[in-house]
Structure 1
């Protein structure tokens, strides 16, 4: 039992690497900045957001893709967003200045995936703040189009900042998060595994102590039984000595002879048992005295389930071609 618990504890702490899921079937982007594969954005709002992003792409050179998908196909939103960014090549080659704002409404997750080239201005902390302050509240109200539109506006504004302004905003975002304290999601994420580990440790310690206690109790009983046997034999020796019926002058010699005779009896029983097993053609390895009638005593980047996520990547609609950017560098995630 203890070995099983220890193995379970080690497996939990070390972690077992999950099997890598097959690459999902990403939606086709064409040249769009907004790809509503989940069908959750009204057409008019989708077209307006697409045109606004395309205009920003042409003026800034950076790339942003807003995407909704019906399913993450068994992947984490971080892995899906990063794979989608690489598949579409959002961001300019060499600059990696693309961003993907990904929404998975059925899993209730959202992520901002940020390319390495924009990580200096669109930091993980700022991405988390955009998700927490702008995207999540709107999603909780059921305003998906508004959440993505306002989130995209904040992403485009952050990408236009100079590094000093970005650092100031990042510091403010970090201070705001610190003042709010850890979220319930963070508390549960850390607390539940910690409680499980502590519980397993407590069980292992209890089992170990119980085993030692049982062993000590067995030793105590063996000692008491031995003392009772010695007391009985000593009385027997004294009686025989008084009657002149024993050749042993001391009880120690008498007791040693008793033990030798008991050992000889046990060996004789063992020989008989093996002989019987050989005669009956069965193994004798299970012999004991009793068998013969005698016995003794959330990820580096940012993502989210409605409203606490961010990360980096990019892609575009009827208005811009993908620039061949590589994988993202950071972001944020969340859920509700």
Structure 2
């Protein structure tokens, strides 16, 4: 029996008090030797912590190494973590792809219109205008407005708006030969066809009028010289490429690549490739006469070989907007 302050203490408590040590060297249960004795183990103290702050699992492994995980289990855990990471990345990519696809403008068949022509549903993108959409689908602004009663202002459409586009049967461009009279200022291509129709009909005053007045004064020679410049021209064939369009401050601008094949009065043929730029002041803000229709603002045309690849040359004729 042990005595403390005159009182008898239980043997187990007395034993523990006699063997109290600092936490750094606290004896812990250990395995039994082959001779029946015990080999005490000492708990390792984590720097900056005390023994009580260690997790129960780590303390258990310090006290009983036999509970350590098998070597293969940690490898399986690493593989599982890698698999989870790969799955998470794939899900992230799939979600991003779905978002981009949802934001991409769509073009969906919509059936037959009232006139029997096919229609499609087009989702408006940034920078679109009704005139540009109409040219893209070979239709007219009036036809698009008629098919979409929600359009109250043909100069105002918004991104994401769904438009029904009536598709017209494919038609050949109007003949610009001298046997036809053509005077159309509704699109850049129409203005250029009308201009060269006037040249082919030798109606040079009408041809001169397709230029904007300010541009004619700065870009063209005086009218008598302009007229004389076509004295030896028998006819002109016109081919237009893809027209680019832009808008700024209530004005619309167009760049039209062209190929011109001119036949002269002496029987020779000359080929030219270039770019015409056209301008239209917003018709909605032209409040007083005289009204200024779409007109030619400038032209840059260069002679090329008669057997040149004019399609490739036209693709580079106009600066990209």
Normalising by the residue count of structure 1, what TM-score does the alignment of the two structures yield?
0.22
Normalised by the size of structure 2, how large is the TM-score?
0.22
Q: Rg bigger for which structure?
A: 2
Larger relative contact order (Cα-Cα within 8 Å, sequence gap ≥ 6): 1
